[in-house]
Amino acid sequence: MKQRPDWTDEQWYAEDLTSVAGVQRLRFFPQVIASGSGSILTTPEGREVIDLSASWTATGLGHAHPHVVAAAERALRAAPGGSVLSGTHPDAVQLARALCERVEVVAPVGERRAYLGHAGTDANDVALRAARHVTGRPGIVAFEGGYHGGLGGSQSVSGIHISGGVAADPDLTLVPYPDLYRPWQDSADTLLVDTLARVEAALANGTVAAVIVEPIQSDGGVLVPPDGFLTGLRETTQRHGALLIIDEVKVGLGRTGHFLAHHAEGVVPDLVTLGKALGNGLPISALVGPAAALDEPAASALMTTTGNPVSCAVALAVLELLDDGALTESAVRLGDQAAATLRDHASSDRPGAGWIGQVRGRGLSIGVELVHPGGREPADDIAAKTALAGWRAGVIAYPVRGNIIEVTPPLTITPEELGTGLEHMLVALDAAVLGEVSNAEIAAFTGW
């Protein structure tokens, strides 16, 4: 197809609707992007917008990061094949070694293995199969509102999909995620005890292979669990001979102020999955675990381009950029800045102030809850209208769980860019509350 540089943003989006499959569209506004640099994205018409999503954290180190670009260019020019399927190459070996060294699991470094995949979906799918293989058990415990993949086995244990009509894994037990933000919740201690008791009951009959959990439930509403939750899961799974799989696909790699989000509790899981930011926009995921779980059965998790040199080189560059801890530390400072800005707005006299319920999260994984003033009734329509108005105002931020606007900008965003982006978002909230976005305008975007 011949390039059409003269097309408008609207023309490009209209063409998308008649050519790209609807099954892979999750749209909240007519977003079309031609290029990006850092935290700034540019449309085909040249309009600049501030990215407060980082492509659902997939471009977690910013768009076109020079170190990442250099790594990709080097790998493309060398081009040592397309995968690790029937042979290997240095970048894949180095990446697997780097992951085994950096991601602590129950096995020592020499007895760890790294599966290299395309996305969190297949990494979690392989993790589930590995747990079933090594334990000989069929059962899986997961959590309501959890997101572990968009296809296959990992989708079938994702509470957020099952509640939307996807068939659940026949051996799945779903447990409520400990939601500290429910208005009727008495105390964190009570919630923690109740949740762990439910997990204990699910594991009691000895048929469960693994518990899979997000250390912060992102798409389920940016829920930070009570202290002791992951520790309790670790103790419970060990007591019953089940594995603990921690899904770091969305919140891992520096975003929460820790290299991996579960490091906040210091637990050591059996299996850890990574994705999204690992490739900074390129398709790559990883699963780290014991050799006993990941070496057998041989040739049982095959995709022709997994472990390809370009994605591996980029992932190595991402790990190198995170090694000194500067971006991880910055995520804490920037997260504090964002939370303060949002809470200041909530206590102001601006139109949208009374619609902000809670501001929650950790580091640069932040959720802004929108509720009807004077109560806690979710304001899903206002969240959808805020997202659309935000795009028009020059910012990208998406709703999750209906009434939560998620703020997950690139870790490389500057304080000034973050401040400007948040102000655009809050202007958009004011516009939504004032009725400047109609129901008809948001009806074209199905969202979740």
pLDDT of residue 355: 97
Whole-angstrom CA distances from 151 to 125, 168, 196, 256, 355 are 9, 12, 28, 26, 35
Across 407-421, average pLDDT: 98
May I ask the CATH class of domain 9-64+325-443? alpha beta
Which band of pLDDT confidence, cut at 50, 70 and 90, is reported for residue 184?
low
pLDDT of residue 185: 63
pLDDT of residue 192: 94
With a cut of 70, say whether residue 213 has pLDDT above it: yes
With a cut of 70, say whether residue 118 has pLDDT above it: yes
pLDDT of residue 4: 67
With a cut of 80, say whether residue 3 has pLDDT above it: no
Question: Is the CATH number of domain 67-322 3.40.50.720?
Answer: no
pLDDT of residue 183: 67
**pTM score of the predicted model:** 0.96
Q: Token digits for 270?
A: 């059996």
With a cut of 90, say whether residue 37 has pLDDT above it: yes
Same fold, 9-64+325-443 and 67-322: no
Residue with tokens 């076109």: 64
Strands 40-42 and 356-362, how do they pair? unpaired
Q: What is the pLDDT of residues 336-382, one digit of tens each?
A: 999 999 999 999 999 999 999 999 999 999 999 999 998 889 999 99
442 torsion bin: left (phi>0), alpha (psi -120 to 50), beta (else)? alpha
Residue 377 has a CB neighbour count (10 Å cut-off) of 11
Q: 177-181, 202-206, 288-292: lowest mean pLDDT where?
A: 177-181
Average pLDDT, the chain: 95
147 a catalytic residue: yes
Domain boundaries of the chain, sorted by first residue: 9-64+325-443, 67-322
Question: Which of 354, 363, 375, 377 minimizes the C-alpha distance to 426?
Answer: 354
With a cut of 70, say whether residue 186 has pLDDT above it: no
Across 124-147, average pLDDT: 97
pLDDT of residue 447: 82
With a cut of 60, say whether residue 94 has pLDDT above it: yes
pLDDT of residue 165: 82
Rounded Cα gap, residues 399 and 429, in angstroms = 12
Residue 119 has a CB neighbour count (10 Å cut-off) of 21
Active site residue: 115, 147, 177, 398, which one? 147
